[in-house]
Structure 1
Amino acid sequence: MRSTRRYNRNTIPALLYGRAVSFPKDTAYCYPEWGQSYSWSGLWRETRQLAKAFLGVGVQKGDRIALLMQGRMEMILGMFAAACIGAVAVPLNAYSRKDEVREYLRQTRPVLMMAGTEGHRIHYPSLLREIVDEAETAGEDPSWLPQRIVVVGVDAGENSFDCSGRFETYSQLMDRRTAVNDLDLDSACAEVRDEDPLILLYTSGTSGEPKGVLRSTRSFIGKEGFSAKTGRSGKFSAYLTDRIAKRFSVLNLLPLYHLGGFSAIFISLQTCCLRMVMLSHYNPVQALTAIEHERCTVLAGTPFMVQQMLASPKRAQFDLTSLRGITFTSAPMNRVLLDKVYRDSGLRLLFLMLSYGSSEAGIVATGICFVNKRPGALSHLLHRLLSRRSFLGGSIEPGEMELGDYSFGGKLEQGVEVKIDQRGEILIRSHKVMRYWKENPEQFTEDGWYRSGDYGKLGPGNLLMIGGRLNRIISRGGEKIAPAEIENALLRLPGVEDAFVLGVPDELYGEQVCACIVPCSEAKLSAVTVREELSVHLSAFKIPRHILFMTDFPMSPSGKVAASDIRRLVLEQMEEMAVHA
């Protein structure tokens, strides 16, 4: 195994090499549906080969490499190989349409692009061929187009496509690795530093407008880096962490083009040696199947994803008793869903982990709540480990969960500062805050605090509580109404599976409250009964003027409720009702 003396600390090549040396045969990542499973040594070997191929076709430090595909091992290899030579990975939303992909390419100008064959009813190579042909026909300056578009999957016969011109197969790209020797690769790896750009993430959150955020390796780790783990106690703690973690496997539901998804695969590099199980795309039944077949012990996803899984009509068909913990990330966790998970008789959970952050700010707050402490050596060790690990903001006691109408954010991470401004907006300052690819000065205060766009409050023990998005605050006749308060009240009503509240235009009051409700199966709800039951808990002006029932809520590609899509559906339905009134 090659020496890391020339690799800078806390860089991807150094971290991959370290895992390959310490845990060569342990599984790092796997995609069961593709039959793909990589050990740490296999991952390091294949990453080196792909990095050589990148160098062989002229990719240099600082160049961008775009990736457009559903989840599979080649996407992880592409991101890690790019990082090893100092190139910047640009994973694109796998749901992206032609106009969106064209705009991403114009903004980032990647020198190389890796594309899957098909996903979400989109044939990616054909989409890219159209973009190239249209640009060439229009006589545009082609400098924004990738010089090479590598199609992943055609070699295995998954799909047929004419790879000519700018297009080539994955195996053709890999043939270029022979032009680069190990010394040349190691020299490129040695030039990489943890402050260098690592990945450019495009995130739309719930607003629907893409934003590019450039993040470094350092922004994913603690303020002092891994050097803080040196010394006898630090090394023993890291050793103990890895030995315990080897017994666990994590099902990561989040896509790799999302901060939460990329952070999840980064955890097994930076924190502990976990087996990471992933899906090509999120589907509640496929997720339940993976937990049972792979005997996953930890589930990582958004609250909306977990709620969909638990509410699935097919849920009873699956054995989920292997699960010991659930990590909620990318969206605030409300008490109602927490209670549902806690009281679920089909789960044997030991802990729930909460996380709050964003693509721009990174992980801001985390926390762990122990829901049960079962007897046994493994449970005891896990409890001790998670109670004192420095990468967690801290433990959350049951008494701290009574937050009224606020959701859980967690306790502030080390090196993260938070303050609440006069509007109640959460302002953040830390080494993890990254700037946009296209600068947006309005997102920062004059003295450098990042405006999160969320409102909340900071409680005792640095416990961060999230109220919701500021742009979702409803202004009804001068009264400011927080949708989260009404949503929590709705979720407590019998027969309500999920709820989403928004403001809709009103000529008299400016805005009126509209509640969208997903009823439980076989529940018989009406707008009249819902209003009657809410009147016991809410002031009259907070009672929804409009109530719409839906079979489910549209989900964004990042696993959150798609607020912009719900608003569109609501306005269309209200317009139709007005026409037929």
Structure 2
Amino acid sequence: MATLSVAAILAENARRRPHKEALVEGDLRLTFAQVWQRALARAGALRDLGVRPGDRVALMAPNTAEFPQAYYAVAAAGAVVVPVHLLLSPEEVEHVLTDSGVTLLLCHPAQAETGTAAARAAGVRVVTLGEEFAKLAADAEPLPAYVTRDADDPAVVFYTSGTTGVPKGAVLSHFNLVMNATVNAFDANDIRPDDIALGALPLFHAFGQTVSMNSVWRAGATLVLLPRFDAGRAIELMVAERVNTFHGVPTMFVALAAAAAGAGGLPELRVCVSGGASLPVAVLERFEAAFGARIYEGYGLSETSPAAAVNQPVFGARPGTIGHPLWGVDVEIARADVEDRIELLPAGGLGEVVIRGHNVFSGYLGRPEATAEALVDGWFRTGDLGTKDDEGFLRIVDRKKDVIIRGGYNVYPREVEEVLARHPGIAQVAVIGLPDELHGEEVCAVVVPAAEAAPDAAAITEWSKEHLGRHKYPRRVEFTDALPLGPSMKVLKRELRARYTAAG
């Protein structure tokens, strides 16, 4: 049995470079040895709370030093981290807690209201990060070392919605995550121990967790956390801390390019990585002109740890593409209309992007049918449509599903539709994504009003805010007499998108 733990990423740094600065947040500066000591003390507290190897522990926190300390404490205790998205409503958080079967929620004070309400409804114990968890850690006997896990044991469960609209838990193993961090650090991009990276991507998200936190630490580099992204503040912090590495979603690059002109000084960036949504080439060009730094755009999903392909120095970078597969990973294009098997297409063919390799997840927690649908012939079907050219450059063309990506966050129309359908003034609704300069896409609800009580657009948006996460509610509401239907009575969303994109 091969053993491996994500906790080794931090433990090995504590052994190899104990006095090196690992983590910076505001005035707090911690070395690798200090972060690891804190993680082991917190792991001791988790053990005293009854957390056993294999138990699932939810973690709800912004990008403060509390997040990595708690994350590595859960890993060190041999338990499984279930990160909770910070924009969810209490009902949505409750679903994550109950579906994953967590025994404990570690919740930051800033999230206490939502987290506590959800935990109470789910019957889950809450420990507040900060003073409460630190006191429990101080009173506990620290673990002498991290708990041994099998390489294929679960390490993290990321909640991601499929076309069903109900968020499913994607189970990622220690092997998945350690390999993804390792190839990101040493093969995809040239990360060096003396690099300093800005951790502005949410750490609860697969991109921020693997590419910012785990990959940066896998290389022994320093992570500077920014709890709330603001472009002006990010530039100031990067200059002050001599940051040379930035990972972001397209909306962050848009904001940084706009803020560059008014900034007192700009950081000297060596590595910039974009992911989470497709990066418009115009944005890439604006950013590169302002900062004199190259952006390497990549692609991945929660189910692939997440990185699957990225523009890499070894192959050359090509704007408008997602580059080449990561080391040890295959990314190919398969016939999108064949469901039960994988039929690969030759170069240039348009089809579904399929992935196999060390980064592919174990499956969806408690959902064997969904897992069997996603994992076919040893390949993961992404649901995205793309092409691969003669030189192996991959391009994402469109999404097979109608997922909306707003500011790097996935919004699943059906989930929003299910909620809006409960509004008394709505007879029928279709949710689509419309192009938006700042967020990439904006959520638009096309509503057929109920005859007896037609609401106005602003009222629907206000009502939606109470029932949906902040990234999901429709900012734009359009009214129509009838939705266009195809022969199988499905709503023709492409027609709606064309109509309302033209209407602007």
TM norm structure 2: 0.71
In structure 2, C-alpha distance between the alignment counterparts of 1:12 and 1:170, rounded to whole Å: 21
- Looking at structure 1, the residues matched to 129 and 106 of structure 2 have their Cα atoms a distance apart, in angstroms, of 7
The alignment status of 1:152 with 2:129, answered yes or no, reads yes
In 1, the alpha carbon distance for the partners of 2:434 and 2:86 equals: 30
Aligned equivalent of 2:80: 88
- What are the within-5 Å matches in structure 2 for residues 23-102 of structure 1? 23-32=17-26, 35-102=27-94
In 2, Cα distance between equivalents of 1:449 and 1:8? 23
Q: Structure 2 vs 1, CA of residues 8 and 39 (structure 1 numbering), >3 Å: closer, same or farther?
A: farther
1:466 correspondence with 2:396: yes
Separation in 1 of the partners of 2:243 and 2:335? Answer: 44
Equivalent in the alignment of 2:289: 343
Matching of residue 365 in structure 1 with residue 309 in structure 2:
yes
Cα drift, residue 63 of structure 1:
0.5
Instruction: Tell me the CA shift for residue 214 of structure 1.
Output: 1.3
Q: Which runs of 5+ in 2 are unaligned?
A: 337-350, 406-412, 414-429, 439-469, 482-499
- Mapping of 1:487-566 within 5 angstroms? 516=435, 518=437, 565=473
Pair 1:305–1:458, CA change in 2 (3 A): same
Instruction: Measure, in 1, the Cα distance between the counterparts of 2:265 and 2:163.
Output: 33
Q: Secondary structure at the match of 2:88?
A: coil
Question: Is residue 56–residue 176 contact of structure 1 (8 Å, CA) maintained in 2?
Answer: no
Cα distance in 2, alignment partners of residues 217 and 12 from structure 1: 5
Query: 1:173: which partner in 2?
Result: 136
Shift in Å, 1:14: 3.2
1:395 partnered with 2:315:
yes
Shift, 1:16, TM fit: 2.2
1:200 corresponds, among 124, 134, 157, to 157
| CA distance, structure 1, for counterparts of residue 224 and residue 239 of structure 2 | 12
Deviation at 1:19, TM superposition (A): 0.8
Asked whether the equivalents of residues 22 and 31 of structure 2 are also in contact (C-alpha less than 8 Å), the reply is yes
For residue 265 of structure 2, what is the aligned residue in structure 1?
319
Instruction: Please give the per-residue CA displacement for 1:228-264, whole angstroms capped at 9, x wherever unaligned.
Output: 9xxxxxxxx98xx99x823321112211110011102
1:447 deviates by 2.3
Equivalence for 1:356: 299
Distance in 2 between the 1:465 and 1:219 partners?
A: 24
Aligned pair 1:413/2:361, yes or no?
Answer: no
| Shift, 1:319, TM fit | 1.6
CA contact (8 A) 2:61 2:204 kept: no
**CA separation of 1:149/1:468 partners in 2, compared to 1, >3 Å: closer, same or farther?**
same
Aligned to 2:386: 456
**Conserved in 2, the CA contact under 8 Å of 1:309 and 1:315?**
no
CA distance in 1, matches of 2:226, 2:435: 30
1:317 partner SS:
coil
Cα deviation digits, residues 325-376 of structure 1 (max 9, x gap): 31112223332222222332xx232x332211110123211223xxxxxxxx
Structure 1 pair 150/472, CA: closer, same or farther in 2 (3 Å)?
Answer: closer
The question of whether the paired residues in 2 share the 8 Å contact of 1:250 and 1:299 is answered with: yes
Q: Deviations over 1:467-504 (max 9, x none)?
A: 1212349xxxxxxxxx99xxxxxxxxxxxxxxxxx9xx
When residues 207 and 75 of structure 1 are mapped into structure 2, their CA distance, relative to the original with a 3 A threshold, is farther
1-side partners of 2:375 and 2:479: how far apart?
39
Matched, 1:14 2:20: no
Shift >6 Å, 4+ stretches: 205-208
The answer (yes or no) to whether the contact 2:238–2:267 under 8 Å persists in 1 is no
Report the CA distance between 1:103 and its aligned residue.
Answer: 1.2
Distance apart, 1:150 and its partner CA: 1.1
Whole-angstrom distance in 1 between the partners of 2:375 and 2:171: 19
Match of 2:214 among 266, 269, 290: 266
Q: How far did 1:444 drift? A: 2.1
1:254 matched to 2:201? The reply is yes
Paired residue type of 1:333: L
Q: CA RMSD in A?
A: 3.6
Cα 1:61–1:515 shift into 2, 3 Å: closer
CA 292–175 in structure 1, closer or farther in 2 if over 3 Å, else same: closer
**Count of matched residue pairs:** 406
1:432 counterpart letter in structure 2: N
Aligned with 2:140: secondary structure?
A: helix
Query: Cα distance, 1:411 vs. partner?
Result: 0.4
What letter is aligned with 2:150? R
Q: Is the 8 A contact 2:19 2:31 kept in 1?
A: yes
Deviation at 1:46, TM superposition (A): 0.9
Of 353, 360, 364, the residue aligned with 1:436 is: 364
Deviation at 1:79, TM superposition (A): 1.0
Q: Letter of the aligned partner of 2:308 in structure 1? A: V
5+ unaligned residues in a row in structure 1: which ranges? 1-6, 136-143, 156-168, 229-236, 369-386, 388-393, 402-406, 474-482, 485-501, 503-510, 520-560
User: 1:268 is matched by which residue type in structure 2?
Assistant: V
* SS of equivalent residue, structure 1 residue 255: coil
Which residue is 1:111 aligned to?
103
Determine which structure has more spread, i.e. the larger CA radius of gyration.
1
Superposed displacement of residue 463, structure 1? 1.6
Distance in 1 of aligned mates of 2:162 and 2:86? 15
User: Separation in 1 of the partners of 2:37 and 2:475?
Assistant: 49
Distance in 1 between residues matched to 2:316 and 2:62, nearest whole Å: 35
Residue of 234, 243, 259 corresponding to 1:287: 234
**SS of the counterpart of 1:174?**
helix
Displacement after TM superposition at 1:315 (Å): 5.0
* C-alpha distance after superposition, 1:36-65 (max 9, x if no partner): 222101111111111111112221000011
Shift of the 8–15 alpha-carbon distance from structure 1 to 2, 3 Å rule, reads farther
Q: What's the counterpart of residue 305 of structure 1?
A: 252
* Letter in structure 2 aligned against 1:468: D
Partner secondary structure for residue 76 of structure 1: helix
- The residue type equivalent to 1:73 in the other structure is A
2:123 counterpart letter in structure 1: L
Call closer, same or farther: CA 1:81–1:296 in 2, change over 3 Å: same
Deviation at 1:26, TM superposition (A): 1.2
Is the CA contact (8 Å cut-off) linking 2:10 and 2:36 kept in structure 1? yes
Cα distance in 1 for residues equivalent to 2:264 and 2:160: 33
Question: Would you say the 8 A contact 1:411–1:461 is kept in 2?
Answer: no
CA contact (8 A) 2:198 2:223 kept: yes
Identity %: 23
Structure 1: which amino acid aligns with 2:216? S
Which region of structure 1 is more displaced relative to structure 2, 53-62 or 464-473?
464-473
Amino acid at match of 1:85: A
Q: Partner letter of residue 322 of structure 1?
A: E
Q: 1:328 & 1:132 partners in 2: Cα distance? A: 34
Sort the Cα spacing of 1:79 and 1:425 in 2 relative to 1 into closer, same or farther, 3 A.
same
Select the residue among 551, 555, 571 that pairs with 2:477.
571
Closer, same or farther in 2 for the Cα pair 1:340/1:127, shift >3 Å?
closer
- Rounded to whole Å, the distance in 2 between the matches of 1:101 and 1:89 is 15
Asked if the contact 1:298–1:324 (Cα under 8 Å) also holds between the matched residues in 2, the reply is yes
Matched position secondary structure for 1:200: strand
Q: Is the 8 A contact 1:201 1:214 kept in 2?
A: yes
Structure 2 partner of 1:476 = none
Please report the TM-score for the alignment, with normalisation by the length of structure 1: 0.63
